[in-house]
Amino acid sequence: MELTTIWFLLVAVLFTGYFILEGFDFGVGMLLPVLGRDDRQRRVLINTIGPVWDGNEVWLITAGGAMFAAFPEWYATLFSGFYLPLLLILLALIVRGVAFEYRHKRPEASWKRRWDTAIFVGSLVPAILWGVAFANILRGVPLSADHEYVGGLVDLLNPYALLGGVTTAALFLTHGAVFIALKTTGEIRERAGALAVKLGVGTAVVAVAFLAWTLTIRASAAAVVLAVGAALALVAGLAAARVRREGWAFTGTAVAIALAVATLFAALFPNVLPSTLDAAGTLTASNASSTPYTLKIMTWVAVVFTPIVLAYQGWTYWVFRRRIGVQNIPQH
């Protein structure tokens, strides 16, 4: 297997890990005003992701770094053409991070309410825009023969991309609801489990529609198999949520997200950013990659450090594996 193919797969794996882990973070943030009926309940919801949300974002940083080093042409064209949506994602992530840290600094209800709104918005915006961005990556964008983006913002807001945004937001909402049911006790657990099933029905419809549309744009045998697997995993997860098997439900939604992302990358390969204007402008894993020597060095670095990072993050989740409830939150 060529190094360009290996690094394409590694970038796919990194984004898959990011969407699985940060997906439930976004879901919890979006559900904060829905499931948090008072301050103690909202603190429970925030504490379910408090120890891990910043570590989950490392997957995005690593994915961006890997793209920059392994496929600099892809990185440059993508970040220049998608400048505004990616900037909005970055700003939303910053606002959300600040909100987590500042929410508890003052006791006034109005102060906490403003930061709760920031957490909601900072979760909703990336949840939608990531779907818009990846849908456009697969569909293709206007690129010149020199691989320069020559479109505008309106080109990125096409119906397929907007459906992609709705799909990722819905998937993350369902994933987040299942995660809350998995990590909490009492009333919050009951309401989160019931909400996950209700959300899941609409999510399944939207996700199937998006994946079916995807396969009409670009398809391969692997993409078809992965898309079917994603749909089945989501249905299995919802069935588990219905009978309150939260661990299996979370596994189902996580696998559904993983296979959905894998579907997009499988349908995309060997391209990394197709051109809708001229085939000569299409970026592929070959013409967008770094030199073989650079890829070889990166591969050895990844072999050494990836297991260390995975072990550390796995240990973090193990330490904070227990459920929490309002009984764990002191009253002020």
Summarize pLDDT for 270-313 with one digit per residue, the tens.
999 999 888 888 999 999 999 999 999 999 998 998 888 889 88
Question: Are the C-beta atoms of residues 49 and 326 closer than 8 Å to each other?
Answer: no
**Residue 252: pLDDT over 80:** yes
**Residue 331: pLDDT over 80:** no
The mean pLDDT value for 180-204 works out to: 94
Question: Which pLDDT score is estimated for 136?
Answer: 95
Supply the pTM of this predicted model: 0.94
Query: Domain-by-domain residue ranges, the chain?
Result: 3-328
**Residue 187: pLDDT over 80:** yes
The mean pLDDT value for 113-131 works out to: 96
Q: What is the pLDDT of residues 78-100, one digit of tens each?
A: 999 999 999 999 999 999 999 99
**Residue 39: pLDDT over 90:** no
**Residue 332: pLDDT over 70:** no
Distance CA 77, CA 187 (A): 48
The mean pLDDT value for 32-41 works out to: 90
The mean pLDDT value for 249-278 works out to: 94
Question: Are the C-beta atoms of residues 71 and 288 closer than 8 Å to each other?
Answer: yes
Question: Are the C-beta atoms of residues 202 and 143 closer than 8 Å to each other?
Answer: no
Mean pLDDT of the chain: 92
Strand partners, 184: 324
What's the angle, vertex CA 164, arms to CA 161 and CA 167, rounded to 5?
160
Return the HEC string of the chain. CCHHHHHHHHHHHHHHHHHHHHHHHHHHHHHHHHHCCCHHHHHHHHHHHCCCHHHHHHHHHHHHHHHHHHCHHHHHHHHHHCHHHHHHHHHHHHHHHHHHHHHHHCCCHHHHHHHHHHHHHHHHHHHHHHHHHHHHHHHCECECCCCCECCCHHHHCCHHHHHHHHHHHHHHHHHHHHHHHHHECHHHHHHHHHHHHHHHHHHHHHHHHHHHHHHHHCCCHHHHHHHHHHHHHHHHHHHHHHCCCHHHHHHHHHHHHHHHHHHHHHHHCCEEECECCCHHHCEECCCCCCCHHHHHHHHHHHHHHHHHHHHHHHHHHHHCCCCECHHHCCCC
Question: Which pLDDT score is estimated for 33?
Answer: 93
pLDDT interval class at 192 (50, 70, 90): very high
pLDDT interval class at 147 (50, 70, 90): confident
244: left (phi over 0), alpha (psi -120 to 50) or beta: left
